[in-house]
Amino acid sequence: MQYLFRIIALCGLTLVLIACIKEEPISDEIITVGQRLPVFSLEMNNGQHITNDSLKGKVSLIMFFHTGCPDCRQTLPHVQHLYDEIQGEGVEFVLISREEEEASISTYWQENGLSMPYSAQTNRIIYEKFARNRVPRIYINDRYGIVKNVFTDNPIPTYNALNEALGRLL
């Protein structure tokens, strides 16, 4: 009897595994190109309050990052370079950590000469309005709050790619 139960269980498990193999992979994306920014609200480290509505009328770059992520470490200097060049030209830079404390980000910013404002988020509440996984994740958005470009770690966005995406909207 026990032998028969094991055979039935093994057959059932095999069927489940075969069914899973044929399933389409779940996308990382929640917000994609052409969609409106989701509703969100956060405080930046400089005291500025940012919401999806406050970004209307401005081109925006929203970046989700974690300072322990090698791909984020490679991308942050490109974003800083853009920030230094075009801040004040109608582009709002919104850098949002994914599950990282203020102290860790502040230390990384100081050690690497970064000056962009950021919002330290110790959870994934805002992040999960945009995506399921992967950082860095950058959204370039038009003045109406519509996502025009999404950059992730595959491939890691270059300065030129980010600059061109923003330039098309300015």
Number of domains the chain contains: 1
Q: What is the mean pLDDT of residues 12-36?
A: 60
Asked if residue 53 is part of any domain, the answer here is yes
Distance (Å, rounded) from C-alpha 141 to C-alpha 138? 10
At residue 35, what are phi and psi to the nearest 5 degrees?
A: -95, 160
The length of the chain in residues reads 170
Q: What is the CATH number of the domain that holds 55?
A: 3.40.30.10
Q: How does strand 137-141 pair with strand 49-51?
A: unpaired
The residue among 32 and 88 whose pLDDT is bigger is: 32
* Angle at the Cα of 42 from the Cα atoms of 29 and 84, rounded to 5 degrees: 85
Q: Is the whole-model pTM more than 0.95?
A: no
Residue 68 carries which DSSP code? T
Q: Which domain range does residue 88 map to?
A: 29-167
Q: What is the mean pLDDT of residues 14-20?
A: 37
Please provide the average confidence, as pLDDT, over all residues in the chain: 89
pLDDT in tens, 48-72: 999 999 999 999 999 999 999 999 9
Asked if residue 2 is part of any domain, the answer here is no
Asked if residue 150 is part of any domain, the answer here is yes
Pseudo-torsion of CA 124, 126, 131, 135, nearest 10°?
-60
Asked if residue 51 is part of any domain, the answer here is yes
* pLDDT confidence band for 7 (50 / 70 / 90): low
Which long-range contacts does 153-160 make (Cβ < 8 Å, 24+ apart)?
Answer: 153/71, 156/71, 156/74, 156/75, 157/75, 157/78, 158/78, 159/78, 159/81, 159/82
Asked if residue 23 is part of any domain, the answer here is no
Distance (Å, rounded) from C-alpha 95 to C-alpha 107? 16
Asked if residue 18 is part of any domain, the answer here is no
Asked if residue 4 is part of any domain, the answer here is no
Q: How far is CA 20 from the centre of its chain?
A: 28
Assess whether pLDDT exceeds 60 at residue 130: yes
Asked if residue 89 is part of any domain, the answer here is yes
pLDDT in tens, 103-125: 999 999 999 999 999 999 999 99
Assess whether pLDDT exceeds 60 at residue 13: no
